[in-house]
């Protein structure tokens, strides 16, 4: 059996790691890197990778002046789509993917924090793990920015506050919401000052209670979704 090339996982905050995505990649080598504030990071060539995963973070996706590494991430994502390399972008990663494909970012126009449904509007091999077209799975949201749908991309999921909750563009899928969390990671977020800044105690408690109610059903769903992404990675080899 030939060796599978590694997956590159890009992170932007210590508490926003790959979570359950890493479980799906258990038999696939992957490396986690943070290049956020590096003006010219040395990133692997796409020929050396079987996939790219880009996680969330608190910064604005277009803040290249404050975080110059974001420009390199966007360039890598655009090249990955061109090269048909499997890509998964989550929250900030979803926004960076959209920007890399020419879409616009809108700051502070769509605050959603907590568990709430999304409307699945199209079937997709990855998103299918969470829900098929016409379903409304409850997921964890944690964002205030949103993006337009990139030209030529397929809208996969939407909500009233955020019309583009998920999209597919060739080999890449972007998810504005957070299916990668388990109970331990949610607790970490709820006890991280940067994550809960400006939130009232009752809002934090409500999210914790909703997590206890919704995560048991979300965990197998996210395993199916990320398992489908891992299959795409293995197929690239």
Backbone angles phi, psi at 207, to 5 degrees: -65, -40
Closest CA relative to residue 94, chosen from 38, 48, 139, 49: 139
Which token pair is 25?
């990649």
**Is 16 a residue of the active site?**
no
The sign of the dihedral angle between the CA atoms of 9, 83, 77, 40 is positive
Instruction: Say which of 16, 73, 112, 180 is annotated catalytic.
Output: 180
**Is 94 a residue of the active site?**
no
Decide if 110 contacts 73 (C-beta within 8 A).
no
Beta bridge partners of 83: none
Q: Give the span between the Cα atoms of 135 and 138, in whole angstroms.
A: 10
Using DSSP, state whether 37 is helix, strand or coil: coil
Q: Give the span between the Cα atoms of 24 and 203, in whole angstroms.
A: 31
Q: Which residue has the tokens 């998920």?
A: 166
**Is 178 a residue of the active site?**
yes
Decide if 44 contacts 87 (C-beta within 8 A).
no
Question: Which DSSP string do the residues of 46-109 spell out, in sequence order?
Answer: GGG-SEEEE---SS-TT-TTT-THHHHHHHHHHHHHHTT--EEEETHHHHHHHHHTTPPEETTS
Instruction: Say which of 12, 67, 91, 143 is annotated catalytic.
Output: 91
Instruction: Say which of 67, 141, 143, 178 is annotated catalytic.
Output: 178
Catalytic center residues? 91, 178, 180
């Amino acid at each position: 059996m030939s060796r599978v090339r590694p997956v590159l996982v890009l992170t932007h905050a210590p508490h926003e790691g790959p979570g359950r995505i890493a479980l799906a990649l258990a038999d696939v080598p992957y490396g986690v890197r943070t290049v956020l504030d590096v003006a010219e990071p040395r990133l692997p060539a796409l020929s050396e990778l079987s996939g790219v995963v880009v996680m969330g973070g608190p910064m604005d996706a277009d803040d290249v002046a404050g975080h110059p590494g974001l420009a390199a991430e966007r360039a890598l994502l655009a090249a990955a789509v061109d090269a048909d390399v499997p890509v998964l972008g989550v929250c900030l990663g979803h926004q960076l993917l959209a920007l890399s494909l020419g879409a616009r970012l809108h700051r502070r126009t769509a605050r959603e924090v907590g568990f709430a449904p999304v409307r699945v509007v199209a079937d997709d091999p990855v998103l299918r793990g969470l829900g098929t077209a016409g379903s409304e799975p409850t997921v964890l949201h944690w964002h205030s920015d949103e993006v337009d749908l990139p030209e030529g991309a397929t809208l996969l999921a939407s909500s009233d506050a955020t019309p583009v909750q998920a999209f597919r563009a060739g080999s890449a899928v972007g998810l504005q919401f957070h299916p990668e969390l388990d109970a331990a990671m949610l607790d970490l977020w709820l006890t991280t000052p940067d994550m809960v800044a400006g939130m009232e105690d009752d809002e934090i408690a409500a999210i914790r209670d909703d997590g206890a109610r919704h995560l048991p059903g979300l965990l197998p769903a996210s395993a199916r979704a990320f398992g489908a992404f891992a299959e795409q990675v293995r197929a690239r080899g």
